[in-house]
Every structure is written in C-alpha cells, then in structure tokens.
Amino acid sequence: MKIIIFGTQFTDTHIFLLKKIIEFLTKHNIEILYDALFFDLLVKKKDFEFLNKKNIADSDCTADMAISFGGDGTFLATALKIGSKNIPILGVNAGRLGFLADVSETDIDSDLQAILNGNHRIEERTVLHLEIVQGRKTETFFALNDVSVLKKNIASMISINLNIDGEFVNTYQSDGLIISTPTGSTAYSLSVGGPILTPDSENFILVPVAPHSLAVRPLVIRNTCKVVLKVESRSGNYLVSVDSRSFQVKENAVILIRKADYKIKSIQPQNHSFFNTLRNKLMWGADVRK
C-alpha cells in the first residue's frame, strides 16, 4: 500500500500528531510519499531529518490514498493537486475548524486502523469546472468549494448578469455572487446566508453578496445546469476567487461554470457523519449561557 502525505505550514504543536501518523504507517509497512512542497517544510525541522529524500511525490504519482495534514485550506489544495487521479483523501485536522479535515489527534490511531480494516466509506464530492473566456483566450480552473465573483474596490457595486441553461435569470446589483458546491455550503456561502447541503446533494448554490435588493435570495439549482455570468463594473474589472485563489478579470470576459467531469473522493471513518460534524463544529445545541 502507498500513501501520499500533503500539507502546508503547521505549528510545532502539531509535530507530535504528524509523527504519530508516520509511525503508524511505518509500523504497518505502508510506503509513504511526501508532496514535494510539504517535504521541503519538513526537512527544515530537525525532528524530521530521518525522512527519505527519495520519497517525494510528483504530479504523475499514483497511490492508494492521500492524507491531507492541515486545515480545510490544505484539503482544498490537496484536492487541486489530486484532481482527476481518483485518489481518495483523508483529512487530518492540524488547523482550526476542520469541516473537511475532521480527523482529530485523539482519534488518529483508531481511525487509521479502521480505514486499513476497511471500516470506512468514500464520499464523492462534486467539483466546479470554471472557464473564463476573454477574446480568443480561455482559462480553465477547478474548485471543490466555490467560485466567487466579487467587486474589486469598496466604492461601488458590480452588476452580474446570470443565465442558467441559456435562460436569463437575473441581474444582481451586489458586492458579488458565490456559486457553491455542497462541500462549499459550510464555507463562504454559509457566512452570507446560504443554506447547508449534505455532501451527496446533486445541487449548486448561488448566493449574492450584499445584494442591493432585499427580494434577492439564495438560489439552489441542479448541478447539471450550466451557468453563464457577464459582469459590469465601473472600474472595468473585478475579482474572481476559486477556492480562495483570487485574480483580476476584465469586465468583457464571459464566465462559464458547470459540473466537472470528475469528483473528489473523501475518506470518512465509519464513526464519522456529516451531521455530527455540524453539531460539533457549529456547536448546535450548545448553551452559551453556561
């Protein structure tokens, strides 16, 4: 069995957790690969001088499983690198909230053992396929959480013309518009009033950011729909954010969004559930008066 470990910068408080993972995998004779960027971080720490420099993953690597060591941002970065390789990802929480990376230090040994024993399930998560067309130039991106179209400056709103499956729907006068997957429904979309969807929902969410009209509300559509956006801005440009990777786009661009041809596989130990994660992470039912 071969496992790739992905990660980003982490604090020294999480070194013990990473060591536990490495020791467990080594004990079970599992070949360990490290993402090249994460490996470079590890070799700078004296505690990881034993790492084999040959065990570095590259873009063509294959493996039975990937471990994302960090927070939800690390999981998103891991998903981007895995892409369509069909490698299931286990998210280990070395960050903060951890909706995607929800395996804790307390459960790491038992969860890894359960996975090796086959006591787990695979959740397939929909990915957004984004194309930005500017003249003869087309750029393609993928997002596990969301694609956001946002105003560039704080002075004025932007106008976002929305078409779904060739039909005009609305012109949003707002600070922006979020197109979210079910996975992203607990991220940026949630913070601006969007609904929470279970990961297996076959839908997308469209949520305006600070709309000028109170009548405008979040819209849930089938994920087979094709979304086309055209944006007007007084500054002549605006921002597009793809899973928190932001860049500037000119207003003459056409934005095309649809379901990607592949899904990201997330490993869930049998004792984990989406609703349990909601209760714990959002503290549903907690009495703040105590």
Domains in the chain, start-ordered, CATH in brackets? Answer: 2-119+270-281 (3.40.50.10330), 127-261 (2.60.200.30)
146-150 and 176-180 strand pairing: antiparallel
Q: What is the pTM of this model?
A: 0.92
Cα–Cα distance measured from residue 238 to residue 118, given in angstroms and rounded to the nearest whole number: 47
Residues with Cβ < 8 Å from 286, sequence gap 6 or more? none
Instruction: Grade residue 48 by pLDDT with cuts at 50, 70 and 90.
Output: confident
- pLDDT for position 63: 92
Average pLDDT score over residue span 164-189: 97
pLDDT surpassing 80 at residue 66: yes
Q: Which residue is it, tokens 């928190």?
A: 244
Task: Point out the residues that are catalytic.
Answer: 72
pLDDT for the residue 183? 96
pLDDT of residue 290: 62
Q: What is the pLDDT of residues 118-138, one digit of tens each?
A: 999 999 999 999 999 998 999
Residue 281 has what pLDDT? 78
Share the mean pLDDT of the chain: 91
pLDDT at 92: 93
Token output for 150: 């946002």
Using 50, 70 and 90 to split pLDDT, how confident is the model at 217? very high
Low-confidence winner among 155-159, 214-218, 226-230 (lowest mean pLDDT): 155-159
Is pLDDT above 80 for 232?
yes
Q: Would you state the pLDDT for residue 289? A: 67
Question: Does residue 5 register a pLDDT over 70?
Answer: yes
Amino acid type, 123 = E
Q: Distances in Å between the alpha carbon of 280 and those of 46, 55, 181, 286? A: 35, 36, 21, 9
Q: What long-range pairs does 270-273 form, CB within 8 A, spacing at least 24? A: 270/114, 270/119, 270/120, 270/121, 271/111, 271/114, 272/102, 272/103, 272/111
